[in-house]
Structures are given as structure tokens and as C-alpha cells.
């Protein structure tokens, strides 16, 4: 299988970016328009107006998907203008993200089938349930009007491929693989019109498998399936400029391959391989590929994944079923649901089809806890007393966050709720907790800096007594100005990432304190809290709030990305780093957050180098690591791209849990990627 000329032309059209100029940039505020409606009907009416003002837009001559955003800005609307909660307006959540909807149900029944389910249950639900169903019907009818517009325009343009498909989907169930991809494209389009920007694609190779098999049975070749897949993947990149999160590219279009079925059997299939091939051929930022693996995964699959990493895309990201599934079960997920986990926009582990978890609601700033404890260091007779202070600070931060987030108020969401089970069966919208799972996740950022600081305090203050507690506090308060010799002593202490038991044990202690403080604590939506090792943008944001720390880090200096060594650590090599981070008790940190490692792109220049990378990933998984992602980068190339961005319009890097175009990132994020350690073998 290989990319054909049709796909090459479409890819060239994408990379030219001229299509971005067609979008209208108009403001529209609907607050007064919907003020007197109920909350559910407000959401439905805003969606209806939003979709009704869209017109058929075809990008290029070979657009077999349509449904492209015409308006750059979505209408603004304060859905609850009079709401003031305990925590102010920020306590009101109107839009949901990081959810993997029930794609299998949507593909099988179409919008008409889902609406029929609502009508069949209309008399069985309460008043709020009926209002939810009425609002969903408004959304469906609005979708149908736009589908008709596109179908007629496709016919007028002679786009028979899409015209024939739109006779069936998305209003009714898909019958083949191409129709199923049209549904997938349409669902992403409408959910984003409804302001859901991080709607992941979930386990694509599983729910699309019946349609793939139906097409193959009807004579469609694997080369043709690859072409459809590549055209679909390209369609997902035509709007990355308007679906940014914290940065451009942070749009949530992650896709999971492999893993196991609900009975625990291996689920990697031919469509999984086609998706890997499509991503390797195209070299674009979406979809962001995730591979589920386990102790029985053959080296050949890691080698296959490494060929994709070689392209410099920052993915695939690997997740270890042997750690994640038991971890999710400990958090209360049914075993069959845990086996069906997907990955959120970045790395958070979420449940396909029936979860409305909020997996990134807060963050535990580990160095902040250590910093606060360090200010009380003079009161400690020994290191055990200092450790107890760190534990107290972690518990305080965790309790403070959980108290705050348990005050949040959640809006109805009639469109999204229809795609999350069992909302249509019960009539309970996700805003009322209608999903099967409603858990909250708290990230954990700066673990290496925290462990390194504790190690330095133990060694220099308590064991060797080279620095007094007062001297250390004075130096930290001064941000090491006038104390450079002391800072060097701290910086020379053992660091996490070199497989040194003493410092790795301190990381284990900190993370256990975090897990004990957070895991399975109840939230106010009938769910629980989950601890994780991710950072997202907090490696900059949280770090900016913390002063100098005892590892030698100066005030406001960035942490490592997610679950990684500190930026300034002198590392012995990639295997030592893997050993440090894989030895931790990660079953209890299953909100997600990958071990992140940068490898110089020259390593990938021959098969021997590729195999070494594959073996490194396999080692991390076999040793008990939960999640890993690799950046294939070249610092010289990145520096040149900063100086001459016009030479590198399509240069891609892994930023945290997502990949983006280097030149579209803010300078702080560019510099962070450049500062990370590049490993060679």
C-alpha cells in the first residue's frame, strides 16, 4: 500500500494553506436573543443559529467531505448572564471537552436513529428529560437543513461521491467505510460548532472495523481503503488554524489504535496498520496517533511505531494496558469499560462512549509543595520531619482544589449528551450527571524538580550538613543572587532520571502522597478524583508561580514536560531515564501523563538506530511504565527555524500531549522544546 497521486495533490493543497483565506470573520452575540429560554433550549438555539448561518464550502476540487467552517468566529453568548457562584463566573461550565462519544452508536443509527430513541423514551423521563429531548430535536433538524444544503451543492458541482453519501449519512446509519468517514468528519464539525474543541476520535480501528469489513467484502481494495483514510485524515487538518487550544495544534484530535477487546483479546487489526501507514505517508499533525500496548506486544509493532516517530511528528504515544486497565478498575470503572479506554486530547485515560470525565480539571504543583515545606525547614530535626511537611502541603493543595472544583455548576448540553450513554435511555443530560462516569482528573507537574529538591535538602542539610537550613532559605529567597556557589552544590546533587534509588524513592514518596490525597475522593457529580502525572502547559504556568527551589532551579524556570527529568539535569543516557521513571507505582497514577523523551533525529537514519528506539520503548512498557511519547528532534534545525521560519512551514514538534507546527507556537513553547535533552545512542 502506498499514497497515490490523488492524495498527493490533496496534501499539497492542504500544505499550501491558501484555503484559510476564505473564512468570514464576523462577530455575533446571542445573549439577548436567547435570554428568556431555558438553559437547554438556549444551547440548542445558539447551535441552531450557528449552523444555519453556515453555507456549503468546498475546499479545492477534490473535497469529498465538505462541512468546512465558513465563519472563523463562533457566536458569543453568555448562557447564564445572572449567574454568580461561590467561585464567581468561572465556576460555571458551559462547554465540555475531552470526551470520546459513542461513535459506534452514531455510525450505526445516524442522527435520525438517535432522535427516534429520544422520542421512544419521551414519556418515560422527567420534565428535564423531555426538555433535553426537545432541545436535541432542534439540533437534529438544524443539522438536517445543512446536510440538504451540502447535498444539493455537491450535486450542482458534480461531486457525485459526496452527493451519493449524503443521501444516507449522517442522518441515517453508515453502510460502508467511506460513508462512515463522512459521518466522522461531520460529527467533528458539528460538535466544534457547538464549542466542543477537544472531542477525541477514540478507538477508531475498533468502531470503524465493521464498515471497513463491509467495504472489503464488497470489493474495495486495501489501497482504496488507504486512500479514503488518507483523504479523511487530510480533512481533519483543514481547520487547525481555528481550533487552537492553549496553542495552535492543541485541538484534541487524538486517535487510538490497538489494545484489547472487552474480553481482553488483542484488537490490533488490518485497519490499525492502514491508519499507521496513512499517518506516516501524510506527515501532518492530525490525527494524533496513540498505540495501546502490553507486555505481550511484539517488538515488530514497536518498530512499526518507531517508523512513524522517525517522521518527526511526536507520535505515536504509547499506553500500557497492563498498568492502565488495573489502574482504571481501582478507580471504579467496570472491567469491560476499562478495557475500552481511549486517550483524551493529550494523554488522559478516558472511557469510550459512556464517560463525561473532566480529566484535567486541576493540577498538583509538586515543587510548590516542596517550596512551602522548605520555608519551615528550620523547624525540622531530621529529614523525616521534612518529608512529613511535604506530605501536609500536598494534602493541603489537593483539598483546596477539590473543595473549589466541587462547587462547579454544569450546563445542559443536549447535542453532546445524545452521543454519550446512557443519556438517551434515561433522559438525563450530561450536565445533570447523565453519563455513566463523571470523574475529575488532577495533573501532577514538576515531579523531577520536587524529588531533586528533596534529595538535595537531605544530602546537603541533613546528611553532610554542608548547608544550614537558614543558609538554604536565605539563598532561595534571594533567587541565588550572591549564592552561586551554594546553587552549584545543590545542582550537583543526584537527580531523577539517572536511576539513582535515593532520589527516585523521593519521587515515589511524593507521588504516593498525591495519589493517597486524591484518588477515589468523591466529587459533587457522583464521580471521584483521579491523580496523574501529566503537566499540559503547567510546565510553564505552574513553574512561573514558584520561586527558586533546592535543586538549583531559579525562580520561575520551567519544569520538564509532564513525567520527565528536569530540564537542566545531566543525564547518563536514555536507559537510565527509562529505569528511573518506569519503577514508580504508576497503577495509582492513572489519570495519565507520559514519560517524555527527546531523541536526536540522526538516531533514526538507519535500521539499527530505529530498532534501538523501539527496544527502548518496549523496555519502558515491560518495566511497568504507563505511557511514553518520543520527540525526534534536532536542536540546530529548531534554532534555524526560529531564525528563518519561512524555510520550515511544516516543521512539527511534540509540545506536551499534542503535536503542532513549530512556527505557530509562542516563543516560550519553542524555547522549551529546544531546551529539552536530546538523547543519542
Q: CA 160, CA 222: separation in Å to the nearest integer?
A: 22
Element (DSSP H or E) covering residue 531: strand 529-531
Please, are residues 174 and 187 in contact by the beta-carbon 8 Å criterion? no
Q: How confident is the model at residue 605 (pLDDT cuts 50, 70, 90)?
A: confident
Interval 4-9 mean pLDDT:
96
Query: Per the structure block, which three cell numbers stand in for 365?
Result: 504543583
31, 100, 274, 528, 596 from 404: Cα distances, Å: 27, 26, 45, 14, 30
Walk across the sheet containing 678-679 and list its strands.
Answer: 254-258, 288-293, 317-320, 627-633, 595-600, 678-679
Residue 568: other Cβ atoms inside 10 A: 18
Q: CA 26, CA 44: separation in Å to the nearest integer?
A: 21
Interval 522-540 mean pLDDT:
91
What pLDDT score was predicted for residue 312?
86
Q: Any residues with CB less than 8 A from the CB of 644 and at least 6 apart, and which?
A: none
Q: CA 261, CA 13: separation in Å to the nearest integer?
A: 38
Interval 604-625 mean pLDDT:
94
What pLDDT score was predicted for residue 407?
85
What pLDDT score was predicted for residue 319?
98
- Residue 655: pLDDT over 90: no
CA 625 from centre of chain: 18
Interval 573-586 mean pLDDT:
94
Query: What is the bridge-based pairing of β-strands 659-661 and 652-654?
Result: antiparallel
174-229 pLDDT, tens digit each: 999 999 999 999 999 999 999 988 889 999 999 999 999 999 999 999 999 999 99
Q: How confident is the model at residue 88 (pLDDT cuts 50, 70, 90)?
A: very low
What pLDDT score was predicted for residue 91?
47
What pLDDT score was predicted for residue 89?
40
User: DSSP 3-state assignment of 260?
Assistant: strand
Cis peptide before 186 (omega within 30 of 0): no
For residue 460, what is the DSSP state?
I
Please, are residues 590 and 331 in contact by the beta-carbon 8 Å criterion? yes
14-57 pLDDT, tens digit each: 999 888 888 999 999 999 999 999 999 999 999 999 999 999 99
Q: CA 319, CA 628: separation in Å to the nearest integer?
A: 7
The candidate with the shortest Cα–Cα distance to 38, out of 412, 499, 313, 387, is 412
Question: Between residues 462 and 661, which one has the greater pLDDT?
Answer: 462
What pLDDT score was predicted for residue 247?
58
The candidate with the shortest Cα–Cα distance to 456, out of 367, 577, 575, is 367
Helices 270-282 and 222-235, interaxial angle, to 10°?
50
Q: By mean pLDDT, which of 91-105, 329-343, 357-371 is the weakest?
A: 91-105
Q: CA 202, CA 177: separation in Å to the nearest integer?
A: 17
What pLDDT score was predicted for residue 82?
62
Q: CA 189, CA 514: separation in Å to the nearest integer?
A: 38
Query: Per the structure block, which three cell numbers stand in for 87?
Result: 467561585
Mean residue pLDDT of the chain comes to: 93
38, 332, 361, 362, 558 from 403: Cα distances, Å: 29, 21, 12, 11, 27
Q: CA 672, CA 638: separation in Å to the nearest integer?
A: 11
Q: How confident is the model at residue 668 (pLDDT cuts 50, 70, 90)?
A: confident
51, 118, 126 from 113: Cα distances, Å: 20, 9, 21
Q: What is the dihedral of CA 165, 166, 169, 172, to 10 degrees?
A: -120
The candidate with the shortest Cα–Cα distance to 136, out of 117, 153, 108, 159, is 117
- Residue 432: pLDDT over 80: yes
Q: How confident is the model at residue 681 (pLDDT cuts 50, 70, 90)?
A: low
Interval 396-422 mean pLDDT:
94
Query: Per the structure block, which three cell numbers stand in for 379?
Result: 523547624
Q: CA 428, CA 133: separation in Å to the nearest integer?
A: 10
Interval 277-294 mean pLDDT:
96
Q: What is the dihedral of CA 419, 420, 423, 424, to 10 degrees?
A: 30
Please, are residues 597 and 563 in contact by the beta-carbon 8 Å criterion? no
Please, are residues 50 and 28 in contact by the beta-carbon 8 Å criterion? no
Residue 378: other Cβ atoms inside 10 A: 11
Element (DSSP H or E) covering residue 299: helix 299-309
With a threshold of 0.75, does the pTM exceed it?
yes
CA 12 from centre of chain: 27
- Residue 86: pLDDT over 60: no
Question: Between residues 481 and 250, which one has the greater pLDDT?
Answer: 481
- Residue 139: pLDDT over 70: yes
Percent pLDDT > 70 in the chain is 95
Q: How confident is the model at residue 241 (pLDDT cuts 50, 70, 90)?
A: confident
Q: By mean pLDDT, which of 90-94, 282-286, 310-314, 321-325 is the weakest?
A: 90-94
Calculate ∠ Cα 25-29-32, nearest 5°.
Answer: 165
- Residue 143: pLDDT over 60: yes
Q: CA 365, CA 371: separation in Å to the nearest integer?
A: 10
The sign of the dihedral angle between the CA atoms of 425, 428, 431, 432 is negative
Query: What is the bridge-based pairing of β-strands 659-661 and 678-679?
Result: unpaired
446-498 pLDDT, tens digit each: 999 999 999 999 999 999 999 999 999 999 999 999 999 999 999 999 999 99
The sign of the dihedral angle between the CA atoms of 150, 143, 236, 17 is positive
Q: How confident is the model at residue 657 (pLDDT cuts 50, 70, 90)?
A: low
350, 364, 366, 388, 503 from 395: Cα distances, Å: 25, 10, 11, 11, 21
What pLDDT score was predicted for residue 3?
92
Q: By mean pLDDT, which of 111-125, 266-280, 490-504, 635-649 is the weakest?
A: 635-649
What pLDDT score was predicted for residue 90?
39
Please, are residues 469 and 379 in contact by the beta-carbon 8 Å criterion? no
Tell me the residue length of the chain. 681
CA 472 from centre of chain: 39
User: DSSP 3-state assignment of 11?
Assistant: helix
Please, are residues 532 and 348 in contact by the beta-carbon 8 Å criterion? yes
Please, are residues 594 and 347 in contact by the beta-carbon 8 Å criterion? yes
- Residue 92: pLDDT over 60: no
Q: CA 211, CA 207: separation in Å to the nearest integer?
A: 8
- Residue 512: pLDDT over 70: yes
The candidate with the shortest Cα–Cα distance to 517, out of 417, 629, 391, is 391
Q: Any residues with CB less than 8 A from the CB of 385 and at least 6 apart, and which?
A: 379
Question: Between residues 439 and 540, which one has the greater pLDDT?
Answer: 439
Interval 550-560 mean pLDDT:
95
Q: How confident is the model at residue 612 (pLDDT cuts 50, 70, 90)?
A: very high
Amino acid at each position: 500500500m502506498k499514497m497515490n497521486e490523488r492524495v498527493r495533490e490533496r496534501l499539497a493543497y492542504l500544505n499550501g494553506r491558501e484555503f484559510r483565506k476564505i473564512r468570514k470573520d464576523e462577530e455575533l452575540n446571542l445573549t439577548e436573543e436567547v435570554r428568556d429560554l431555558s438553559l437547554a433550549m438556549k444551547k440548542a438555539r445558539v447551535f441552531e443559529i450557528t449552523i444555519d448561518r453556515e453555507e456549503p464550502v468546498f475546499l479545492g476540487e477534490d473535497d469529498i467531505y465538505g462541512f468546512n467552517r465558513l465563519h472563523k468566529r463562533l457566536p458569543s453568548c453568555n448562557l447564564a448572564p445572572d449567574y454568580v457562584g461561590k467561585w464567581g463566573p468561572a465556576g460555571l461550565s458551559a462547554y465540555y471537552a475531552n470526551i470520546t462519544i459513542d461513535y459506534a452508536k452514531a455510525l450505526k443509527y445516524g442522527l435520525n436513529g438517535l432522535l427516534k430513541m429520544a422520542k421512544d423514551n419521551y414519556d418515560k423521563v422527567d420534565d428535564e428529560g423531555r426538555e433535553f429531548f426537545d432541545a436535541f430535536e432542534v439540533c437534529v433538524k438544524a443539522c438536517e437543513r445543512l446536510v440538504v444544503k451540502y447535498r444539493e451543492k455537491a450535486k450542482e458541482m458534480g461531486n457525485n461521491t459526496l452527493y451519493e453519501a449524503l443521501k444516507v449519512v449522517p442522518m441515517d446509519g453508515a453502510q460502508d467505510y467511506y460513508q462512515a468517514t463522512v459521518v466522522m468528519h461531520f460529527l467533528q464539525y458539528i460538535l466544534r460548532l457547538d464549542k466542543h474543541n477537544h472531542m477525541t476520535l477514540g478507538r477508531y480501528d475498533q468502531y470503524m472495523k465493521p464498515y471497513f469489513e463491509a467495504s472489503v467484502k464488497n470489493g474495495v481494495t486495501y489501497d482504496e481503503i488507504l486512500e479514503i483514510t488518507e483523504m479523511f485524515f487530510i480533512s481533519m487538518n483543514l481547520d487547525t488554524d481555528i481550533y487552537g487550544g492553549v496553542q495552535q495544534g492543541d485541538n484534541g484530535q487524538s486517535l487510538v489504535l490497538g489494545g484489547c477487546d472487552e474480553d481482553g483479546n488483542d484488537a490490533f487489526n488490518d485497519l490499525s496498520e492502514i491508519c499507521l501507514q496513512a499517518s506516516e505517508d501524510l506527515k501532518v499533525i492530525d490525527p494524533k496517533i496513540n498505540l495501546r500496548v502490553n507486555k505481550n506486544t511484539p517488538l515488530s509493532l514497536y518498530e512499526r511505531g518507531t517508523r512513524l516517530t522517525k517522521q518527526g511528528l511526536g507520535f505515536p504515544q504509547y499506553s500500557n494496558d497492563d498498568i492502565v486497565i488495573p489502574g482504571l478498575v481501582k478507580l471504579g470503572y467496570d472491567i469491560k469499560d476499562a478495557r475500552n479506554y481511549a486517550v483524551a486530547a493529550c494523554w488522559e485515560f478516558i472511557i469510550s462512549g459512556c464517560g463525561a470525565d473532566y480529566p484535567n480539571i486541576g493540577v498538583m504543583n509538586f515543587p510548590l509543595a516542596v517550596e512551602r515545606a522548605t520555608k519551615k525547614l528550620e523547624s525540622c530535626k531530621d529529614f523525616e520531619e521534612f518529608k512529613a511537611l511535604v506530605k501536609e502541603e500536598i494534602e493541603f493543595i489537593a483539598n483546596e482544589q477539590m473543595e473549589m472544583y466541587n462547587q462547579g455548576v454544569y450546563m445542559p448540553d443536549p447535542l453532546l449528551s445524545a452521543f454519550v450513554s446512557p443519556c438517551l435511555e434515561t433522559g438525563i443530560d450530561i450536565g445533570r450527571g447523565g453519563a455513566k462516569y463523571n470523574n475529575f482528573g488532577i495533573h501532577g507537574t514538576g515531579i523531577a524538580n520536587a524529588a531533586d529538591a528533596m534529595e538535595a535538602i537531605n544530602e546537603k542539610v541533613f546528611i553532610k550538613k554542608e548547608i544550614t537550613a537558614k543558609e538554604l532559605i536565605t539563598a532561595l529567597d534571594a533567587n541565588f543572587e550572591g549564592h552561586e556557589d551554594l546553587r552549584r552544590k545543590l545542582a550537583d546533587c543526584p537527580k531523577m532520571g539517572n536511576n539513582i534509588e535515593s532520589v527516585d524513592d523521593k519521587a515515589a514518596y511524593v507521588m504516593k502522597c498525591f495519589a493517597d490525597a486524591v484518588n477515589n475522593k468523591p466529587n459533587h457529580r457522583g464521580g471521584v478524583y483521579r491523580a496523574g502525572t501529566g503537566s499540559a502547559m503547567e510546565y510553564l504556568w505552574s513553574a512561573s508561580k514558584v520561586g527558586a527551589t533546592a535543586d538549583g532551579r531559579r525562580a520561575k524556570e520551567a519544569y520538564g514536560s509532564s513525567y520527565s527529568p528536569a530540564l537542566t539535569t545531566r543525564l547518563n543516557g536514555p536507559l537510565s531515564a527509562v529505569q528511573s521513571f518506569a519503577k514508580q507505582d504508576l497503577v495509582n497514577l492513572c489519570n495519565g501523563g507520559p514519560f517524555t523523551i527527546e531523541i536526536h533525529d540522526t538516531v533514526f537514519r538507519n535500521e539499527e538506530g530505529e530498532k534501538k528506539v523501539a527496544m527502548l520503548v518496549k523496555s519502558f512498557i515491560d518495566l511497568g511504565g504507563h505511557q511514553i511519547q518520543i520527540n525526534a528532534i534536532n536542536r540546530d534545525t529548531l534554532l534555524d527555524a526560529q531564525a528563518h521560519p519561512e524555510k520550515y512551514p511544516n516543521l512539527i514538534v511534540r509540545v506536551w500531549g499534542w503535536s503542532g507546527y513549530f512556527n505557530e507556537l509562542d516563543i516560550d513553547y519553542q524555547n522549551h522544546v529546544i531546551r529539552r535533552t536530546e538523547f543519542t545512542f
